[in-house]
Amino acid sequence: MQNFGWHGACEPDFGGNGLFRLSLTGIASAALSTLQTNSTALRVVSNNVANMSTAGYARRTVQFQTVAVGNQVGGVDIASIQRVVDKFLNAEALSANSSATRYDTQGKIFSQLSAVLGQPGDGTSLTSMLTGVSTAIGQAALSPTASASQVGALSAFQNLAGTISNLGNSIASLRSQVDQQVVATTTSVNQLVKQVYDLNTQVKNASMAGDDSSALLDQRDTALNNLAQLIGIRTTDLPDGRVSVMTEDGVNLVGDSYAQLSYSGGSNNGTYNSIQIQDINPSSGLGIGPPQAFDGHLASGKLKGLLDMRDGTLGDLGQEVGNLAKQTATAYNAVNNANTSYPPPASMTGRNTGLDANDALNFTGKTTVAVVDSNGNIVSRVDVDFSAQTISINGNPPSSFTNTVGGFTSALNTALGGQGTAGFTNGVLTISANGGNGIVTKDDATTPASRGGSGFSQFFGLNDLFSGGAPSILATGLSASDAGNFAAGSQISLQLKGPSGDIARQATVTLTAGMTMGQIVTALNTAMGGQVTFTLNSDGSITQTNSSSTTNYTLNVTSDTTQRGTTGMSFAQLFGIGANQLALQAQGFSVNPRIVANPSNLSFAKPQITSSTWAGASVIGHGDNSGAEALQAVGSATQTFAKAGSMSANAATLSDYAAGFYQDVATRSSAATANQTSQDARLQEAQTRQSATSGVNLDEELTHMMTYQQAYAAGARLLSVVSQLFDTLLQIQ
């Protein structure tokens, strides 16, 4: 490298000593510039070597230039110190960083999920628990009244319920943890965006002062890399040294202003609001314009991975487990309510139906409520004809009753006489027997009792086996003309959220006094403006239908302050409205406490009540296992499942649906792993190429150091020679 700078200046003019001294001065000046220039170059090398392991550091190179004095070469100087960067590689590294972090984030959450799911066949999975139930009931059928059989079956039921509940609760808890990470990540994004903006200002000032290799550039690149891990970004260099930062689809993050995200976190009835973004005026710190939803502008980065898992995977899996819980409860409860234990229970307390005593009874068909002694013999029999609205005691002429829930309950209580009681309070029906006897119910074989498609005992949940965090029976039997019976001023708030986090519609319906169920449904339809349509069906259930433009959108109930009468049940709970209601089915899923307290209350027998079985007749026999066999058959029966999460509506056994759930988890996890592997490889390749260009090569730096040291030594030697010549010249004079 020719950077000594004394050529021409060492050509002496022998016409006189003065001219010779002038040439020696030029030579000395060139030698000094050589010392200074190479000293600076050595410092650059030293900094490169010192920072070779520093993340975000880009090596510097020295560009030399000739110093001219008049028409003569007057030495050497540094033209510039440049950071060695490749814009294309930097952009690729930022993009790869965002994509890799997105799938790395998903992979970590899937690892947490796998820890609580269990694997099919490992003895702790849903499929294993369902198989365990069938096995235990099969064994109990051999000796249905044996204590060991009953305890074994109860244990299997509790294991199944506990597994479903743990899954539902774990998914909900994990979803909440992910949401807290969303909160923390948005805070980090704001800090990095502001840091880049502040560094931009400092870089601009340094650039104006002629410093184009400032360490601020390394700091800014590090901040950009950290930001890219959180959200996908793209950058553009500006002429004044600043860099503009945008999301991958062009939303401003850093420019003349900077953006700020806001998200407080926390679910409201299982609903998560959108992250908001707003430009901030740097001078005042105030927002510019209204905030906008940000979720849909995320394409990669940790924040995208978190939202994918919270709103997509975990939300879907929660609904799928809830759907399994709902159908498990429906199937087993239907059979358990049709059967009874031996001896029969002294009292049966139903579920909260959400009904009021003044509601129309809306039952059709016939049922029998019998008081039975401990040997299974009828003590008293009450026959109810709901269609005719009559009640008969022990075959005596029927008498009519008021066709309301309260009217029927009062008539049943009277009919039981001194043998038992019936009451209806806060939406719950209770029937009890006196004198050490038990209660048995039996729907008519030809014209069974039905409300909304459920039998008498099943609808009221008198002999339920399972219960969950939300009602499993959503066919309420209510009609459009039935009174809403919700307090005036109470409100239902709905949110229709898209797969990208956009909110298609938000609406709040305020109920007024005297509204009927039909009027409430109409108010909801008006509020949703056709984007979602609610239909009150003939069985008292409500069907939700999205418009063609919102097919993949999720309806959430963000708030529901309604309470039906004294039941405490909200409108959303009563009809299962909102995506979270299905997920709640699994949370708190448990076995009936009455059965847990006494396993002999398991309904392993089937009451044989016909038109000819009157007082004194045996309707339950010791050793009757027909109820146990019916319960065992549930495991192999085909159930009808509604659409939930990513699992389509289908007909399957409980075990097949559980296996489908695990398959859904495996498919999602496999896809995330494949993406993680490919994007991690892409990031590694980008970083390798970037390092080859911008990284410090020790061999190269050592070569530069030796070159600069030699040049420095040559300059020092030349300066020494000039000094000797001056001394000689002075002696001549």
- DSSP state string for 84-141: ---HHHHHHHHHHHHHHHHHHHHHHHHHHHHHHH--TTSSSSHHHHHHHHHHHHHHHH
Chain CA centroid to CA 208, Å: 48
Share of the chain above pLDDT 90, in %: 72
Helix, strand, coil fractions of the chain, as percent rounded to 5 = 45, 20, 35
The arithmetic mean of pLDDT across residues 497-503, rounded, is 86
Whether the per-residue pLDDT at 65 is higher than 80: the answer is: no
Whether the per-residue pLDDT at 115 is higher than 90: the answer is: no
- Taking every pair of Cα atoms in the chain, the longest distance, rounded to a whole number of angstroms, is 153
pLDDT value at residue 561: 96
Whether the per-residue pLDDT at 21 is higher than 60: the answer is: no
Calpha distance 316→666 (Å, rounded): 14
Mean pLDDT of the chain: 90
Calpha distance 496→17 (Å, rounded): 96
| DSSP H or E run through 76 | strand 72-83
pLDDT value at residue 686: 83
Tokens of 383: 């026959």
pLDDT class for 72, splitting at 50, 70, 90?
Answer: low
- Report yes or no on whether pTM surpasses 0.85: yes
Whether the per-residue pLDDT at 176 is higher than 70: the answer is: yes
The arithmetic mean of pLDDT across residues 244-267, rounded, is 93
Within 8 A by CB and 6+ apart from 272, the residues are 179, 310, 311
Q: Where are the domains of the chain?
A: 17-78+696-732, 85-343+588-694, 491-575
Per-residue pLDDT tens over the stretch 511-565? 999 999 999 999 999 999 999 999 999 999 999 999 999 998 999 999 999 999 9
Whether the per-residue pLDDT at 209 is higher than 70: the answer is: yes
The arithmetic mean of pLDDT across residues 58-73, rounded, is 73
pLDDT value at residue 255: 95
Q: Which of 434, 443, 439 is nearest to 363 (CA)?
A: 443
Whether the per-residue pLDDT at 20 is higher than 60: the answer is: no
Calpha distance 158→181 (Å, rounded): 34
The arithmetic mean of pLDDT across residues 36-62, rounded, is 79
pLDDT class for 9, splitting at 50, 70, 90?
Answer: very low
Within 8 A by CB and 6+ apart from 237, the residues are 87, 243
Backbone angles phi, psi at 406, to 5 degrees: -70, -40
In b/e form, how buried is each residue of 47-70, taking b as 16+ CB within 10 angstroms? bbbebeeeebbbbbbbebeebeee
* pLDDT-wise least confident of 14-28, 333-347, 547-561, 579-593: 14-28
Whether the per-residue pLDDT at 93 is higher than 90: the answer is: no
pLDDT class for 70, splitting at 50, 70, 90?
Answer: low
Report the sign of the C-alpha dihedral through residues 368, 373, 375, 381, in that order. Answer: negative
* pLDDT-wise least confident of 178-182, 205-209, 495-499: 205-209
Classify strands 287-293 and 428-433 as parallel, antiparallel or unpaired. Answer: unpaired
Give 439 or 118, the one with higher predicted confidence. 439
The arithmetic mean of pLDDT across residues 271-281, rounded, is 92
Whether the per-residue pLDDT at 709 is higher than 90: the answer is: no
pLDDT value at residue 501: 83
pLDDT class for 19, splitting at 50, 70, 90?
Answer: very low
Calpha distance 475→355 (Å, rounded): 12
Calpha distance 177→179 (Å, rounded): 5
